[in-house]
Amino acid sequence: MTHEHEPFPLLALKSETADVKTLIFRGCGSKREFLDRKPGQYVEVSLQQDGTWSEPHPFTVANAPGSDIIWLTVKRRGLFTNRLHALQPGQRALITGPFGAFCSRLEQHTSIIMIAAGTGIAPFLSVLRHYQRAESALPPITLFWWNESPEDFFYLHLLDSFYFSMDFSAVVISQHPFSGKHLKHHRLSTIHFVHGELRAELIKKYTPLADAAMYVCGLKDSLTPLDEQLQELGVAPHAVHREFWTHPL
């Protein structure tokens, strides 16, 4: 298999939680497609093993466009993501893309509901970082971010900063209860902290569903029940934009 791209060197890794890391790669400045990428797009990553490049795996670019630096916020799951987490600065990965059109044309909506499960927050971080930096107006946004445990959340300070720079609010939902430690830590936050399941009724409690465009991202198995509940509440299928992560096999 031949590749027209040079592999990207890893600049740094940042641990977000026990099993999520952000990998920061530097591309080559002449690669126009990476400079011109849109917020919310993904890339495909291959690692070298035994002299060949592995099958590509998709990951969403979590930083704003406009530079040749690529941030990937990756949850450790199986073999490939464990290898990504074990990369050392200076080692290289083959990165192709960008691909996809998730979150394109956000400006045309009246209001936006973003729903993320786990690292499914990555495209929304890219979009929100982009609009925060560009200082251009977006419709009102409510972000719902579900995780299994309070220990799985990261970047809460960043969500606070979005609240202060745009019409934005965040509801952070944990399946396991928040402890006194977390609640004390979050007391001054602008975020709503909720213990429970990611359910359509919960979303409806915080923001009107009618006329909102919904963007939903994360592993398909975590999000399919919610998708069905939204339809039951009368949300039109075309109002829901899905980036469901499935295994291709």
Cβ 202 to ligand FAD shortest distance, Å: 24
Two tokens at 126? 């890219």
Q: Indicate whether 146 belongs to the interface with ligand FAD (CB under 6 A).
A: no
Residue 125 and residue 207: Cα distance in Å, rounded? Answer: 20
Contact by Cβ (8 Å): 216, 227: yes
Q: Indicate whether 42 belongs to the interface with ligand FAD (CB under 6 A).
A: yes
- Which is nearer to ligand FAD, 74 or 172 (by Cβ)? 74
Cβ 52 to ligand FAD shortest distance, Å: 15
Cβ 112 to ligand FAD shortest distance, Å: 20
Residue 181 and residue 3: Cα distance in Å, rounded? Answer: 49
- Which is nearer to ligand FAD, 45 or 200 (by Cβ)? 45
Q: Indicate whether 46 belongs to the interface with ligand FAD (CB under 6 A).
A: no
Task: Look up tokens 């002299």; give the residue.
Answer: 51
Two tokens at 184? 């004390």
Contact by Cβ (8 Å): 182, 150: yes
Residue 121 and residue 131: Cα distance in Å, rounded? Answer: 16
Contact by Cβ (8 Å): 8, 95: yes
Cβ 133 to ligand FAD shortest distance, Å: 20
Give the β-pairing of 48-49 and 8-17. unpaired
Residues in the interface with ligand FAD (CB under 6 A) total 22
CB count, 10 Å around CB of 3? 12
Q: Indicate whether 77 belongs to the interface with ligand FAD (CB under 6 A).
A: yes
Query: Which range of residues in 3-11, 55-63, 139-147, 202-210 is near ligand FAD by CB under 6 A?
Result: 55-63
Give the per-residue contact string, 56-75, with ligand FAD (x = CB under 6 A; - = no).
Answer: xxxxx------------xxx
Q: Indicate whether 78 belongs to the interface with ligand FAD (CB under 6 A).
A: yes
Positions that interact with ligand FAD (CB under 6 A): 42, 55-60, 73-75, 77-81, 119, 122, 243, 245, 247-249
